Amino acid sequence: MNDQNDRAELARLLPPPQAPALLQQRQAELRTDLLQRIDAAAPRAGRARVRWPMVAVPLALAAAVTAVLVVVPALVRPEAGPSAEDRTVASVLARAAQSAIAVPSNVRPDQYIYVKSRNQWRGHRADSDGKVTELPGPEYNIVESWLAMDPAKQSFSRMNGAPLRETSSYNESTNPRTHHFEQTKLPTDPDQLLAWLYQDIPSDKPRDLTAFRHLSDLLKFPVASPAVLSAIYRAAAKIPGVQLVGETVDGLGRPALAVGFLFDNGADRLDLLFHRDSFDFLGERKVTLRDTGYGKAGEVRGPEEIIRRAVVDKPGQLP
């Protein structure tokens, strides 16, 4: 039997090589080792989240990098925020501040901030005998706003798909302090921003609650830079009476953490809701804590939930 026949006979008798299985095993070992190295090198405190801006790339380039991108989910770990036992109002708002500062600011002065939200505002009538009656209205309203970044331009909004209507420009506003464009001028220092929140509050109004309400209004229509938005969250933690409510779910079913403030002698609470994982601001709600003419204990009233935010070029344009 010659050498060629010998090799053929041995190939027939021996089992096929197991290289592919060995390669898969080795890949698993290398991946485990890499993840252990990443965990060992990473700090244990909550890491700042980075959101990468979306950029347009040529189709050929996108196809070329696909093979590289598919391995990323196996290496990227969800950030570890404070555990349920370690959470405080300060730690939750600090995480929200970290989340805000990681978002790149890429809005041009000629563009608009688009905000889509859902609310449940209903009117009430108080009779002479003290009885409060809720007025009829839709179960929920869908509100869309186009907020101009140019203070001289009109902003627009619509409710439930109705035609667009103009809202006053910053230059025309009778109270510029409440206009969304005011956010672009706010300080990035939390203490200075806190002083701004308390500025000009009438003496007959509860100062801490009014500052908290003002802060909530800023968050519902955000046009501020990431640095200012981060300062807003850090200032919120400094308002006396702000408390951590804990884990909850908003009206759209999203997991949330609630930060609240009691009012009406403890009968009600105003909550700010943050996504439990990303710490993005989701909206606000009022919770009735004991039976009143406006609701029963445990009832959620007047929720406002942010559905979508985006940058667009003109009023009426959808992202």
Strands of the sheet with 268-275, listed across from one edge: 165-167, 155-159, 141-148, 112-119, 300-312, 281-288, 268-275, 255-263, 243-249
At 71, is the pLDDT very low, low, confident or very high (cuts 50, 70, 90)? very low
Name the 3-class secondary structure at 163: coil
State the helix-helix crossing angle for 89-101 and 226-236, rounded to 10 degrees: 180
Amino acid residing at 311: V
Residue 90 predicted with pLDDT over 70: yes
Name the 3-class secondary structure at 304: strand
Cα 316 to Cα 161: distance, rounded to the nearest angstrom: 11
Give me the mean pLDDT over the 182-200 stretch: 90
Residue 176 predicted with pLDDT over 70: no
User: Residue 308: which H helix or E strand, with range?
Assistant: strand 300-312
What is the structure's pLDDT at 51?
A: 41
What is the structure's pLDDT at 9?
A: 52
Q: Supply the Cα-derived Rg of the chain in whole angstroms.
A: 27
Q: What whole-number percentage of the chain has pLDDT above 90?
A: 42
What is the structure's pLDDT at 174?
A: 58
Give me the mean pLDDT over the 62-82 stretch: 35
Of residues 302, 287, 288, 305, the one with CA closest to residue 139:
302
Q: Which residue has better confidence, 202 or 67?
A: 202
Residue 72 predicted with pLDDT over 60: no
What is the structure's pLDDT at 18?
A: 47
**What is the total residue count of the chain?**
319
DSSP 8-state secondary structure symbol assigned to residue 52: P
What is the structure's pLDDT at 240?
A: 95
Name the 3-class secondary structure at 124: strand
What is the structure's pLDDT at 110?
A: 93
Q: Give 234-279 pLDDT, tens digit per residue.
A: 999 999 999 999 999 999 999 999 999 999 888 899 999 999 999 9
At 23, is the pLDDT very low, low, confident or very high (cuts 50, 70, 90)? very low
CA dihedral sign of residues 219, 225, 228, 234: positive
Q: In the numeric block, which tokens belong to residue 317?
A: 């344009």
Q: Which residue has better confidence, 86 or 168?
A: 168
Q: Give 124-161 pLDDT, tens digit per residue.
A: 667 777 676 766 666 789 999 999 988 888 999 999 99
What is the structure's pLDDT at 33?
A: 53
Q: In the numeric block, which tokens belong to residue 234?
A: 């850090």
What is the structure's pLDDT at 60?
A: 38
Q: Give 97-112 pLDDT, tens digit per residue.
A: 998 887 777 889 899 9
Q: How far is residue 227 CA from its own chain's centroid?
A: 15
Q: Which residue has better confidence, 132 or 188?
A: 188
According to DSSP H, which parts of the chain are helical? 3-13, 19-41, 59-69, 72-75, 89-101, 190-198, 207-220, 226-236
Cα 186 to Cα 99: distance, rounded to the nearest angstrom: 19
Average pLDDT across the chain, whole number: 76
